[in-house]
Amino acid sequence: NIDEFKNMVDRFHAHGLEVIMDVVYNHTPEGNEMGPTISFKGIDNASYYRLLPDQPRYYINDTGTGNTVNLSHPRVLQMVTDSLRYWVTEMHVDGFRFDLATILAREPHGFDEGGGFLDSCRQDPVLSSVKLVAEPWDIGPGGYQVGGFPPGWAEWNDQFRDTVRAFWKGD
């Protein structure tokens, strides 16, 4: 419940710990054109999801889950940024780790460091003041963007992770 979450965050803060929420705004459980209609498909499929331009019945699948949320659409972008601001202003989280963050910065032509979502985070008075951590890859074209996120963003570095993992495993 909301009060328990706020209490948890307050207790972490009282002990000098920050709360970074892991969020997934890049896909939904609706899958591809064969998946169930749970919410966004039934509301406005063509706005909420990236669809193949020449065959809009089919989904662009840069996530590996069947669909890719379309943050290029202004209402979808607004929904995501409103959600993030809620978690900061109401629930007092200190930042976010974004799953497959490259997708969030995709525009119709591909990854764009100056794209709508990244610009929104950079310009928003609430979001620009919290910690933003990108998992900087997806499976789409040009999806590996380690080092490609703008100033203010931290990034996971899979090469460092894999090197450290290999060291600890004795590889």
The DSSP code sequence of 139-169 is SSTT---TT-SPTTEEE--HHHHHHHHHHHH
Backbone φ and ψ for 133, nearest 5 degrees, come out as: -125, 125
Q: Which of 10, 18, 22, 99 is catalytic?
A: 99
The DSSP code sequence of 85-113 is HHHHHTT---EEEETTHHHHTEETTEE-T
Q: Is 99 a catalytic residue?
A: yes
Q: Is 107 a catalytic residue?
A: no
Q: Which of 33, 54, 112, 135 is catalytic?
A: 135
Catalytically active residues are: 99, 135
